[in-house]
Structure 1
Amino acid sequence: MIRTLGFLLAGVLLGTPAYADLDLTFPGPATQTFSETENFASYKLPVGPYADGFVQTLVAEGQQITRAWRVDVGVGTSLLVMDNLRQQLEASGFELLYECTTEVCGGFDFRFTTEVLPEPVMHVDLGDFRYLAAQRLGGAVPEYVSLFVSRGADSAFVQMVLVGSADGTNLNSKSGGNTAQVIPAAPRTKPGAVVEALIRDGHAVLDDLEFETGSSALGSGEFSSLSKLSEYLKSNPEIRIALVGHTDAEGSLQGNIALSRQRAQSVAARLVRDFGIPQRQIEAEGVGYLAPRASNLTDEGRTLNRRVEVIITSTQS
Structure 2
Amino acid sequence: MFEPAELRPVAEWMVSESADPMIRMLVCAAALLLIAAGPPPARQAAPPAPPLKAGAIPPGDAPGARDAGALPRYAGAILLESKASAFDELVLPNAKLERREDKVDANNNALFLPPEPPTVEGRLTRMSYLLPEGRSVLEVVRGYQQAVKEAGGSVLFECNRDECGGSAVSAARSGGSKTGIVHMLYPYDMISGPWTECVLQEDRAGQRYTLLDLPKGAGKAAVLAWTVGDVSAGSNCKSWVGRTVALVVTVETAAREQRMETVAASAVGQGLDRDGRVALYAIQFDTAKAEVKPESQPQLAELVSFLRGAPATKVLVVGHTDNQAGVDYNLDLSRRRAQAVVAALTGAGIAGARMVPQGVGMAAPLASNDTEEGRAKNRRVELVKLN
| TM-score, normalised relative to structure 1 | 0.38
- Higher relative strand content: 1
Report which of the two has the higher share of helix: 2
Query: RCO higher in 1 or 2 (8 Å CA, sep ≥ 6)?
Result: 1
Q: TM-score, normalised by structure 2?
A: 0.32
